[in-house]
Amino acid sequence: MTETTAIRKLDTMQQELRKPGYTFDYRDFNLQPQQTRIIDATDLIYFVSDEVDDNIVVRSETGVYDRTTTNNAESIHHHTGRITLENHSLTAAQYVVFYVGIWH
């Protein structure tokens, strides 16, 4: 997902959820080989950027973003609540970039 698409999605979600506003920010994570990391995204929405490596799996109450397999019917680009990042690489740390919407 591009930054422009994430902002458009936030605009739409703000209207649908009747939130008064949001702040747009960025977060990036370095994950070691086979590392799993939990993020608390209560009242936040994370958008998976186009820069995420194919070895990264993102899971949340919204769904799963997973390019490590072709068995998924779809990959969800927006995540909220408890988010799990999994690095399925065996060799190197992966750089994971997110666009973050913070509801006001």
Using DSSP bridges, classify how beta strands 78-87 and 36-48 pair: parallel, antiparallel or unpaired: antiparallel
For residue 102, pLDDT beyond 90: no
For residue 94, what pLDDT is reported? 62
What pLDDT was estimated at residue 61? 92
E strands, 12-77, in order: 22-31, 36-48, 56-60, 63-66
**Per-residue pLDDT reduced to its tens digit, 29-85:** 888 999 999 999 988 999 998 878 888 899 999 999 998 888 877 888 999 999 999
| Angular region, 44: left φ>0, alpha ψ -120 to 50, beta rest | beta
* Residue pLDDT, tens place only, 48-62: 988 788 888 999 999
- Residue 96 clears pLDDT 80, i.e. is over it: no
